[in-house]
Homo-oligomer: A and B are copies of this chain.
Amino acid sequence: MSSVPPPVFHRDPSRDGVINRVQGFFLTRFGWFWRLIARWPWAAKWLNHRLIHAACKRAPRRPYPLSTMHASDFTSWDSLSDKTWNGRHLPPMPRDEVADLPTLRKVAELFVRPAGGFVECPKSTTLFPAFAQWLTDGFLRTESTDFNRNHSAHQIDASQLYGERPGVTRQLRTLVGGRLKTQSINGEEYAPYLFKTGIRPRVKNDGLNDVPDPLRFDDRFPLERQDALFAFGGERANTTPQTAMINTLFLREHNRIAAELAAAESSWDDERLFQTARNVVIVLVIKIAVEDYINHISPFRFRLRADPSVAWTAAWNKPNWMTAEFNLLYRWHSLVPDAAAWPTGEVAGVEGIYNNRLLTEVGLGRAVAACSAQPAGRIGLFNTPRFLLPTEEASVRQGREVRLRSYNDYRELVGYPRVDRFEQITGDPTRLAALKELYGDVNRVEFYVGLFAEDSRPTAAVPALIGRLVALDALSQAFANPLLAELMFNDQTFGKAGMAIIGVTSSLQDLVNRNTTGGPYAATFTRSNRGPKPTIFGPPI
């Protein structure tokens, strides 16, 4: 596959903010110092709390006064109560300013990756977009009929695996030993197939009629893809072999945990084993999201730790509400290469869609290792594969329909000075020319475009404003999970065996090591080729 090495440009950093620059300078250097701190438990805990608090206090705390419910700008009991509408961090942009923005089609062209112009990310492997997609499919659940609304539980609840509703969960369970239903394919454990084989129109297998259809799947896809779809709780988990891979990994881990709990707690029935295994799996998702995934995103050398106590008395620990902004800033389409370097050969974009045979042919371990070996694309303009271009255009349109304020307004929200020259956003002459032509005035740059126009630091997986906004919403909502609450985070909720599993898990690599045979298979978000990362921290307090 052809690719372009990441070019280096000279951006004007004069509006990065003095404190931001000083903090960034120290936190992105002196690895030896941060590793030293990490070895001193009290200092590590103190610093971990300070950094997480700082990330969560970048903007005013929830609840947000406004949502996407009312077209105009006021607060109602209906809007505060009905979280099927997205929250919003800032009030809407005036209508005349929205009307004055450049045409959608022209803006969407800012994202197009030129033929053969794939720009590699110097930091991330394609395991990173695989996990990002799977993770966010759990809580950024936009309604397909109205993208101002969602059907999210606003929590990390592993609903990709278990389903959104108790009726679905029940159908996915064996109701014996706390286990989820599985089948064996080539000697490996997978979810059962959702549909009866070789039948059109499709018919669900017995006892799976409430399990959701994969989102937007229809008869235009070949019958062999339909036959290989798994009975997954989440309607997006079958979308690509990469998301199916991550979901299968957590499926295996669930059954492994259920067996460990059953061995340790002979008096527990199926219900308690299942519910406790689910509790453990949800916390594993949070731990991996913070300690593996967010630490990969972060350019800082100090590795954050998912210590639940950070949120116990924190003022920012308030009921979750996924925002319109969070939903949009997570559209990291440029991470996706033109073709996946799969063990059986290159798989071009759409060839992977709903194609689970790609996964079962090679097995989970080899699939994970392949994702860990391939560089992802660099997040930014002019790097989105062509087949995702309609999605980019829809994203720009979505930002305008809810009238998100400008890029500069969001910089201000989270403590970056407003930029006054395009050169303070990017040093890339192509981007600069395109932005100047489209917007003229840097204050007109819209949220979605500004996010992806910024040059990234080489040690960061995402540009700076995305990084700060992701940290704000992700950390403040992940740590508000009820399972991490002071009364909950103990043996009573997870079992002694479950707490031990939580204690020894901090990366996707840990899960892959436990749930594959024939390895070891590398499972890493970071292009280091140095194999599995060591766990820096011991078990949680």
Contact = CB atoms under 8 A, between A and B. Distances in A.
B81 A153 contact: yes
Contacts of A313: 315
Interface stretch (A127-135, A327-335, A486-494): A486-494
Contact of A319 (B61, B169, B319): B319
B278 A81 contact: no
Given A317-B318, A482-B80, A483-B80, A65 B275 contact: no
Nearest to A80: B482
Interface in A243-292: 271-272, 275-276, 278-279, 282
What bracket does the count of chain A residues touching chain B fall in? 35 or more
Contacts of A153: 81
Given A60-B487, A157-B81, A313-B315, A493 B279 contact: no
A60 to B, nearest CB: 5
A540 interface: no
Nearest to A311: B315
A157 B76 CA distance: 11
Nearest to A317: B318
Q: How often does this chain occur in the complex, in copies?
A: 2
A171 B81 CA distance: 19
Interface string A145-172: 0000000010101000010001001000
A65 to B, nearest CB: 5
Given A312-B315, A318-B317, A319-B319, A76 B485 contact: no
B492 A65 contact: yes
Contact of A278 (B77, B157, B169, B493): B77
A64 interface: yes
Interface string A451-491: 00000000000000000000000000000001101111000
A78 interface: yes
A272 B488 CA distance: 41
B487 A63 contact: yes
Nearest to A282: B77
A221 interface: no
Given A65-B493, A81-B153, 12 more contacts: A63-B487, A64-B487, A72-B272, A74-B275, A75-B483, A75-B488, A75-B492, A76-B276, A76-B279, A77-B162, A78-B169, A313-B315
18 contacts: A60-B486, A63-B482, A64-B487, A65-B487, A65-B492, A72-B272, A74-B272, A74-B275, A75-B279, A75-B492, A75-B493, A77-B278, A77-B282, A78-B169, A80-B482, A81-B153, A314-B315, A317-B318
